Amino acid sequence: MTYQLPEKLKKLEAYQPISGDYKVRLDANESFLSLPDEIRHEISVGISRIAFNRYPDPYAVELCQSFSRYFQVPADLIVAGNGSDELLFLLTTCFASAGDTLMTVKPDFSMYRVYGEMAGLQVEVFEKDCDLSLDADVFIAAAKEKNVNMVIFSNPCNPSSLLLSKEDVLKIVAGLEDVLVVVDEAYMEFAEGSVLQEIENYPNLMVLKTFSKAFGLAAARLGFAVSNKTIIDALKAAKSPYNVNTMSQVVGTILLEHPAYLEECTLLIKESRDYLFGMLQAMAGSFPQIQSIQNTRSNFVYMKVDGAADIYRALQQQGIAIRLMGDYLRICAGSEDENEALLAALQAYLKGAEVCAVQK
């Protein structure tokens, strides 16, 4: 009998990021800001000093100390990862047993479910309300009914861009005291209400952070898990010995030494987001095809629109990449030129569609 793939791999659908060359990339929620020359120079010097014949620091001590100073959390309560994805995979694989139940929400980052299924977990998906909001009390009741062992959700949410209040997040953590609650704060730099400072107050809370969004280091693949000492010590034991390469450690450490620059980046991205949101709202007043636009608390805008797939393809033909998500379009805030190119192309398409509808 020939080798057969496990059933979980046979039915697995690969995550499909957009690939190819586009003049405007607003699909992956990356920062539109590139590192300035002076920081690039510091990075070049730092990389030139690497002993490439040696393994990386297994615990990324210097990087975690810099993270500790910037975010004001104890350094021994931080684990660095090869992006948040590595940490999510470790959590679903090591912090629950096959057959245990993971609860995610919908809509949310699809990889939470994928990692859970790959780990042999039973995945329960909690459907958000029609306005994409999450009722903490209803969620707690559903998790208890399903006897879940782990909960993972993003806040602010990707893709809805909505924010769950700090009070509601902590209500969920306290209400599910025997459940590991993982809060992915990848976009929290663009909002308020982080629970990062609460990690030592709850035995079941973990917060994930990333450098791929506000900090503009998507290429370096740096993610961080922060929790109480019991959970973090277990995660340190479970991770691979040299999981974060030395170059990424050097880059992340140097970047965290420039807090004023990082704060400026966050401000500029928020300004771009607010401009894009306002212009799309104004456009919605003129074109009924745009059904709704969420009040964004991230670095992107999430809008429901008639003919979303047609718009997505039309923009691609003009070299503009955005994210298609069913009847919704997720559009990342870009540079001034990128935003203007997107808005002009979208308006032209909607006007053309309106004319075609009248002619028919």
* Interacting residues of 234 by C-beta distance below 8 A, sequence separation 6+: 94, 95
Beta strand extents in 186-317 (DSSP E only): 205-210, 222-227, 290-293, 300-305
Q: Are 292 and 304 in contact (CB under 8 A)?
A: yes
Count of beta carbons in the 10 Å neighbourhood of residue 122: 17
- What integer pLDDT is reported at residue 8 of this predicted model? 83
- Contact by Cβ (8 Å): 148, 101: yes
Per-residue pLDDT 10s for the chain (360 aa) are: 799 888 888 877 777 777 788 999 999 999 999 999 999 999 999 999 999 999 999 999 999 999 999 999 999 999 999 999 999 999 999 999 999 999 999 999 999 999 999 999 999 999 999 999 999 999 999 999 999 999 999 999 999 999 999 999 999 999 999 999 999 999 999 999 999 999 999 999 999 999 999 999 999 999 999 999 999 999 999 999 999 999 999 999 999 999 999 999 999 999 999 999 999 999 999 999 999 999 999 999 999 999 999 999 999 999 999 999 999 999 999 999 999 999 999 999 999 865 454 455
298 closest CA partner among 281, 276, 320, 282: 276
Instruction: Confirm if 281 and 139 have CB atoms less than 8 A apart.
Output: no
Packing angle of the helix pair 111-118, 83-94 (nearest 10 deg): 40
Q: What angle do CA 98, 102, 104 make, to 5 degrees?
A: 150
Is residue 184 classed as helix, strand or coil in its secondary structure? strand
CA distances from 195 to 199, 239, 243 (A): 7, 24, 26
Global pTM exceeds 0.85? yes
Q: Which helix (H) or strand (E) holds 343?
A: helix 336-359
Q: Which domains does the chain have, with CATH numbers?
A: 7-32+261-355 (3.90.1150.10), 48-258 (3.40.640.10)
Phi, psi of 268 (to 5 degrees): -65, -40
Rounded-to-5 percentages of helix, strand, coil across the chain: 45, 15, 35
209, β-bridge pairs: 224
How far apart, in whole angstroms, are the C-alpha atoms of residue 157 and residue 189?
A: 13
Helices then strands, counting H and E runs in the chain, come out as 12, 13
> DSSP per residue over 95-149, as a string?
SS-TT-EEEEEESS-THHHHHHHHTTPEEEEEEPPTTS---HHHHHHHHHHTT-S
**Structural contact between residues 233 and 71, judged by C-beta atoms closer than 8 angstroms:** no
288 by Cβ neighbours in 10 Å (0-12 / 13-18 / 19+) ranks as exposed
Strand partners, 251: none
- In this structure, what DSSP letter does residue 327 have? T
List CB contacts of 272: < 8 A, sequence separation 6 or more.
32, 299, 333, 334, 335, 336, 339
